[in-house]
């Protein structure tokens, strides 16, 4: 019997058309999108489809939408072998990260894909992305188990772990990278999987989490950043945690005003997370004098996680029943392959 895949259409360029009046790209509905890909009939996979009532540009995705996608997968989980989420590329890495935490015990493929050009345009990258993503979602190993039992992003011939991806280019078809984890599969004449890089199979059932706490901020450090402004930003009412996008291997200014602003936040019980703003590599707090204050203040080093993964993981852990209890050790331990232990 052929494999079955549920296609979940949320929006993004892949399903957009150019409004002849304004020239702006707008989302089309799922039916029109399917008409653009007659190949879907011949793919040899039983396809189910579901769509957001109003498909959106991924800049409008919110944590509630991440939960919505997770629930759709949870409700259909036993009926399908795999899932393909059609999604705008702009915030795809955030959604992929969030889904990897929300879908605890996942043992089936959840493949996010999209495109840089709409599916109806002649030079589109959408068809290949869509067709191969479906093929990957349906793929089984010799024992009949899912080939990729995790949340992944497929884009321009490469499959990457979802919570390791970052969007690195606004125009190129090759828009995503996985700087700190190997590519899970490459599509050429053959689909070549790197089995050692793919998460091992999990036994047990799926648990869909649905609580995310969005009382979190991201502060990207820059030379000369004013300490008083950092203090203001960290005094936002209700703030629970702030991600500090730091320099190099996790460094920041030693300026007393800046350090004082962080200290005041810590005294208010705000969790501070250290993630590098570099495109790759890991945070090593204490390596330079410029990260000693972070160690002293109990800032949580986020190893080699992406900013997207740190943000989604922090929302997930804060939303969890345990809240801030054991927040730091849970942040530092891998949940879904999002970080490499040193
Ligand atoms: N703005 C679009 C989106 O993220 C871009 C894309 O799909 O590639 O929805």
Distance CA 158, CA 136 (A): 11
Q: Under 8 Å CB-to-CB from 259, ≥6 apart: which residues? A: 227, 253, 293, 297
The residue out of 208, 238, 263 marking a domain boundary is 208
Question: From the CA of 58, how far away is ligand 1's center (Å)?
Answer: 6
Cα of 211 to ligand 1 centre, how many Å?
26
> Exactly one of 10, 13, 91, 132 is catalytic; which is it?
13
CATH code for the domain of 290: 3.40.50.40
Same-domain check for residues 146 and 10: yes
Q: Ligand 1, residues 26, 113, 114, 165: which to mutate, most atoms within 8 A of Cβ? A: 114
Residue 121 has pLDDT above 90, yes or no: no
Cα→Cα distances 306→167, 211, 276, 323, Å: 11, 21, 8, 22
203 is catalytic: no
Distance 12 CA to ligand 1 centre (A): 4
**Calpha distance 56→40 (Å, rounded):** 23
- Please tell me the predicted confidence (pLDDT) of residue 9: 94
Ligand 1 contact via 57 beta carbon (within 6 Å): yes
Indicate if ligand 1 lies below 6 Å from the C-beta of 291: no
Asked whether residue 327 carries a pLDDT value surpassing 90, the answer given is yes
297 — pLDDT class (breaks 50, 70, 90):
very high
**Is 93 in the same domain as 221?**
no
Q: Which regions of the chain does DSSP assign to beta strands (E)?
A: 4-11, 16-18, 25-27, 46-56, 82-86, 103-104, 110-113, 151-155, 158-161, 166-167, 176-177, 185-187, 191-193, 207-208, 216-220, 241-246, 271-276, 300-301
Task: For residue 197, tell me if it sits in a domain.
Answer: yes
Q: Tell me the percentage of the chain whose pLDDT exceeds 70.
A: 100
* Atom number of ligand 1 nearest to Cα 90: 4
The interaxial angle of helices 63-76 and 92-102, nearest 10 deg, is 50
| From 9, 10, 11, 12, mutation site for ligand 1 pocket: most ligand atoms within 8 A of C-beta | 12
159 and 283 inside one domain: no
Q: What pLDDT, in 10s, does the model give residues 2-22?
A: 899 999 999 998 888 888 888
Which atom number of ligand 1 is nearest to the Cα of residue 13? 7
Task: Give 30's Cβ-side CA count (13 Å radius).
Answer: 18
User: What is the domain range of residue 289?
Assistant: 216-331
The residue among 223 and 321 whose pLDDT is bigger is 223
Q: Is the predicted pLDDT of residue 322 greater than 90, yes or no?
A: no
Residue percentage of the chain with pLDDT more than 90 = 84
Does the Cβ of 10 fall within 6 Å of ligand 1?
no
Asked whether residue 75 falls in the same domain as residue 193, the answer is: yes
pLDDT at 24: 86
**What is the pLDDT, as a whole number, of residue 40?**
85
From the list 156, 187, 154, the residue with the least C-alpha distance to 172 is: 156
**Model-wide pTM > 0.75:** yes
What is the reported pLDDT for 321?
Answer: 81
Ligand 1 touching residue 88 (CB < 6 A): yes
Is residue 341, in this structure, part of any structural domain at all?
no
Which of the residue ranges 78-82, 221-225, 273-277, 285-289 would you say has the lowest mean pLDDT?
Answer: 285-289
The Cα diameter of the chain in Å comes to 67
Output the pLDDT for position 33.
79
In this structure, are 68 and 191 located in the same domain?
A: yes
Q: Which of 208, 239, 274 is the last residue of a domain?
A: 208
How close is the Cα of 331 to the center of ligand 1, in Å? Answer: 29
Ligand 1 atom nearest residue 59's Cα = 4
90 within ligand 1 shell (Cβ under 6 A): yes
**What pLDDT shows up at residue 88?**
95
pLDDT of residue 15: 86
The tally of domains found in the chain comes to: 2
Looking at residue 108, its pLDDT comes to 98
Q: Tell me whether residue 151 is in a domain.
A: yes
23-37 pLDDT, tens digit each: 888 877 778 878 888
Q: How far is the CA of 335 from the centre of ligand 1 (A)?
A: 28
Over residues 132-151, the pLDDT tens digits come to: 999 999 999 999 999 999 99
Nearest Cα residue to 154 out of 104, 92, 94, 101: 92
Query: What does the pLDDT average to over 163-171?
Result: 96
Q: Which pLDDT band, with edges at 50, 70 and 90, does 194 fall under?
A: very high
Q: Are 273 and 315 in contact (CB under 8 A)?
A: no
CATH no. for residue 190? Answer: 3.40.50.1170
Domain end, chosen from 165, 187, 208, is at 208
Q: Specify the residue with its C-alpha closest to ligand 1, atom 3.
A: 88
CA 173 / ligand 1 centre spacing (Å):
12
Q: What is the mean pLDDT of the chain?
A: 94
Q: Indicate if 259 and 201 belong to the same structural domain.
A: no
φ, ψ for residue 139 (rounded to 5)?
A: -70, 140
| Whether pLDDT at 179 is above 90 | yes
Return the pLDDT at 57: 93
């Amino acid at each position: 019997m052929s494999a079955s895949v549920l296609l979940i259409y949320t929006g993004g360029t892949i399903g957009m058309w150019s409004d002849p009046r304004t020239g702006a790209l707008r989302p089309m509905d799922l039916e029109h999108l399917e008409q653009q890909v007659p190949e879907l009939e011949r793919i040899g996979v039983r396809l189910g489809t579901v769509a957001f009532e109003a498909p959106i540009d991924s800049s409008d995705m919110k944590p509630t939408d991440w939960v919505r996608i997770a629930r759709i997968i949870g409700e259909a989980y036993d009926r399908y072998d795999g899932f393909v989420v059609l999604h705008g590329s702009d915030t795809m890495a955030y959604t992929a990260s969030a889904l990897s935490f929300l879908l605890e015990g996942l043992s089936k493929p959840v493949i996010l894909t999209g495109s840089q050009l709409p599916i109806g345009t002649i030079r589109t990258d959408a068809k290949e992305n869509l067709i191969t993503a479906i093929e990957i979602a349906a793929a089984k190993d010799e024992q009949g188990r899912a080939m990729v039992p995790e949340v992944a992003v497929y884009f321009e011939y490469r499959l990457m772990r979802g919570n390791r991806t970052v969007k690195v280019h606004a125009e190129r078809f090759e828009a995503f990278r996985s700087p700190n984890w190997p590519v899970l599969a490459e599509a050429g004449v053959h689909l070549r999987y790197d089995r050692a890089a793919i998460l091992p199979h999990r036994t047990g059932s799926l648990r869909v989490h649905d609580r995310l706490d969005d009382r979190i901020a991201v502060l990207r450090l820059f030379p000369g950043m004013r300490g008083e402004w950092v203090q203001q930003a960290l005094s936002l009412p209700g703030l629970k945690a702030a991600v500090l996008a730091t320099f190099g291997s996790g460094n920041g200014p030693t300026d007393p005003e800046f350090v004082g602003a962080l200290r005041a936040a810590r005294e208010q019980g705000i969790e501070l997370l250290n993630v590098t703003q570099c495109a790759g590599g890991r945070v090593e707090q204490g390596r330079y004098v410029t990260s000693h204050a972070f160690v002293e203040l109990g800032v949580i080093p986020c190893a080699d996680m992406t900013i997207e993964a740190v943000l989604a993981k922090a929302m997930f852990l804060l939303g969890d029943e345990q809240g801030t209890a054991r927040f730091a050790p849970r942040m530092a331990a891998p949940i879904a392959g999002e970080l490499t232990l040193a």
